[in-house]
């Protein structure tokens, strides 16, 4: 920590350099308390404090941040700079998809524990295996980290699977000390008329009003092929609609809103059947946290970041490296 005192500090008298270096060496390298340094060198403690400050100013003491193994600050900064993200969290995990899911779950839980300081109004997507992994690893906050947690898309589905959507919302709300709000409808319905009827219900009108005041969103990032959880829920996009989306250039979605590789929203008949937050309302949420990883989702995650669907990303190291490489390169 104590650097070579000569060179840049030649404007100081040799006696000053020597004293500054000696005090800095005793304090930083040997851990001697300022009071003991003062007694040893027959100085006042106030002067010792001033000498330590001066040693930093002239470069005798230089702080070096040592990056711990498994921490990828360089990748995080590269992602933030390249895509204009508010924050990137890169998890030191690779292997099979289930291993990556567990790693992102642990990192997501740690991120929430560190950043939920109270008063947040959280929106959460309903059918995300990654977010379930986060909730499974989240510890109860000692003080309430949020006021409310609201589903962003309908959470009603096949009974056995709906329990997972309910658990995702209910347990998260309990762990962070918030009030949960469920959407009493599926995320995807058969016709625009059914969707309109549901949205005009007083309960849904109240939820829609609450969406506009959300301060953060927690979302998974989907690929065209639905996850096992979504497929089993009865809320997955039908195969014929999937094909039309692919033909239109879709690579992924957030809350059933599909987008191209450039992150542009694909407007289709599907939009008129979604019971959930509108794209404009969603993208007005200040902090939009996307948690996803694995090779299968590289293109979808890149598009979600590029299109502003998320401005905070929590992902694995392999995905992070793919995201900062040229899109045309093979990851």
Cα 57 from Cα 71, distance rounded (Å) = 29
51 closest CA partner among 83, 96, 18: 18
pLDDT (0 to 100) of residue 249: 96
Q: Find the mean pLDDT for residues 155-173.
A: 86
Q: How many helices (H) and strands (E) does the chain have?
A: 14, 10
Within a domain: residue 101?
yes
Same domain membership, residue 33 and residue 83? no
pLDDT (0 to 100) of residue 226: 72
| Residue where one domain finishes, among candidates 14, 46, 64 | 64
Which residue intervals of 9-158 are DSSP H helices? 14-24, 34-41, 45-57, 73-83, 97-115, 129-137
- Report in angstroms the alpha-carbon separations of 201 from 52, 196, 207: 67, 9, 10
Q: What is the pLDDT of residues 192-245, one digit of tens each?
A: 999 999 999 998 999 999 999 999 999 999 998 877 777 777 777 888 888 999
Range(s) of the domain holding residue 32:
1-64
Higher pLDDT, 231 or 262: 262
Between 53-67, 129-143, 144-158, 231-245, the lowest mean confidence (pLDDT) is in: 53-67
Q: Please, are residues 5 and 20 in contact by the beta-carbon 8 Å criterion?
A: yes
Within a domain: residue 331?
no
Between 137-141, 185-189, 256-260, 316-320, the lowest mean confidence (pLDDT) is in: 185-189
Within a domain: residue 330?
no
Same domain membership, residue 167 and residue 36? no
Cα 128 from Cα 258, distance rounded (Å) = 15
| Residue 21, both tokens | 């270096």
321 closest CA partner among 108, 92, 112: 92
What 3-state DSSP class applies to 142?
Answer: coil
Q: Is the pTM of this model over 0.75?
A: yes
Residue 180 phi/psi, 5-degree rounding, is -85, 145
Between 73-82, 221-230, 267-276, the lowest mean confidence (pLDDT) is in: 221-230
What average pLDDT does the chain have?
88
pLDDT (0 to 100) of residue 9: 45
Please, which residues have CB within 8 angstroms of residue 95's CB and are 6 or more apart in sequence? Answer: none
Give residue 100's pLDDT band: very low, low, confident or very high (50, 70, 90): very high
Percent above pLDDT 70 for the chain:
91
Same domain membership, residue 142 and residue 52? no
314 closest CA partner among 287, 297, 331, 289: 289
| Residue where one domain finishes, among candidates 13, 37, 64 | 64
Cα 50 from Cα 55, distance rounded (Å) = 9
pLDDT (0 to 100) of residue 12: 59
Burial class (CB in 10 A: 0-12, 13-18, 19+), 280: exposed
Between 28-37, 69-78, 136-145, the lowest mean confidence (pLDDT) is in: 69-78
Cα 1 from Cα 12, distance rounded (Å) = 20
Within a domain: residue 93?
yes
Within a domain: residue 45?
yes
Same domain membership, residue 136 and residue 270? yes
Place of tokens 């600050």: 73
Same domain membership, residue 303 and residue 225? yes
Write out the E strands in the chain.
87-91, 120-124, 146-151, 179-181, 216-220, 222-223, 250-254, 257-260, 287-291, 312-316
pLDDT (0 to 100) of residue 8: 42
Same domain membership, residue 79 and residue 188? yes
pLDDT (0 to 100) of residue 327: 60
Same domain membership, residue 80 and residue 11? no
Check which CATH number belongs to the domain holding 243 and give it. 3.40.50.1360
Q: What is the pLDDT of residues 9-43, one digit of tens each?
A: 445 555 578 788 888 888 988 889 999 999 888 88
Same domain membership, residue 94 and residue 155? yes
pLDDT (0 to 100) of residue 11: 52
Within a domain: residue 54?
yes
Same domain membership, residue 52 and residue 145? no
Domain count, the chain: 2
Within a domain: residue 300?
yes
pLDDT at 330 over 60: no
DSSP state of 328: T
pLDDT (0 to 100) of residue 66: 54
Higher pLDDT, 70 or 184: 184
Check which CATH number belongs to the domain holding 51 and give it. 1.10.10.60
Give residue 60's pLDDT band: very low, low, confident or very high (50, 70, 90): confident
Percent above pLDDT 90 for the chain:
63
pLDDT (0 to 100) of residue 258: 95
Same domain membership, residue 87 and residue 55? no
Cα 127 from Cα 255, distance rounded (Å) = 9
pLDDT (0 to 100) of residue 40: 85
- Report in angstroms the alpha-carbon separations of 316 from 130, 152, 186, 322: 12, 25, 31, 10
Same domain membership, residue 219 and residue 304? yes
Cα 174 from Cα 154, distance rounded (Å) = 20
Please, which residues have CB within 8 angstroms of residue 25's CB and are 6 or more apart in sequence? Answer: 2
| Residue where one domain finishes, among candidates 9, 39, 64 | 64
pLDDT at 264 over 80: yes
pLDDT at 182 over 60: yes
Same domain membership, residue 104 and residue 237? yes
Within a domain: residue 225?
yes
**120-124 and 216-220 as β-strands: parallel, antiparallel, unpaired?**
parallel
């Amino acid at each position: 920590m104590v650097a070579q005192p000569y060179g840049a500090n030649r404007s100081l008298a040799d006696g000053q350099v020597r004293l500054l270096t000696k005090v800095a060496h005793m304090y930083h390298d040997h851990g001697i308390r300022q009071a003991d340094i003062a007694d040893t060198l027959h100085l006042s403690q106030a002067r010792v404090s001033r000498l330590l400050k001066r040693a930093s100013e002239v470069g005798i003491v230089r702080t070096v941040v040592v990056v711990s193994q498994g921490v990828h600050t360089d990748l995080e900064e590269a992602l933030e700079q390249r895509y204009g993200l508010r924050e990137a969290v890169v998890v030191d995990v690779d292997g099979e998809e289930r291993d990556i899911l567990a790693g992102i779950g642990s990192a997501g839980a740690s991120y929430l524990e560190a950043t939920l300081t109270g008063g947040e109004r959280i929106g959460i997507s309903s059918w995300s295996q990654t977010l379930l992994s986060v909730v499974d690893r989240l510890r109860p906050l000692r003080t309430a980290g949020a006021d409310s947690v609201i589903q962003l898309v309908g959470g009603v589905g096949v009974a056995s699977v709906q329990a997972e959507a309910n658990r995702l919302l209910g347990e998260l709300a309990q762990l962070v000390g918030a009030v949960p709000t469920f959407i009493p409808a599926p995320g995807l319905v058969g016709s625009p008329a059914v969707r309109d009827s549901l949205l005009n219900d007083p309960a849904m009108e109240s939820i829609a009003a609450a969406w506009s005041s959300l301060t953060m969103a927690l979302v998974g990032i989907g690929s065209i092929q639905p996850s096992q959880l979504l497929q089993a829920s009865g809320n997955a996009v039908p195969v014929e609609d999937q094909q039309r989306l692919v033909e239109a250039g879709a690579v992924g979605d957030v809350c059933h809103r599909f987008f191209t590789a450039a992150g542009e929203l694909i407007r289709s008949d599907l939009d008129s059947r979604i019971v959930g937050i509108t794209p404009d309302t969603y993208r007005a949420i200040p902090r939009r946290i996307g948690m996803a990883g694995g090779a299968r989702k590289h293109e979808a995650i890149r598009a979600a970041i590029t299109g502003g669907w998320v401005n905070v990303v929590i992902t694995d190291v392999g995905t992070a490296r793919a995201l900062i490489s040229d899109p045309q390169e093979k990851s």
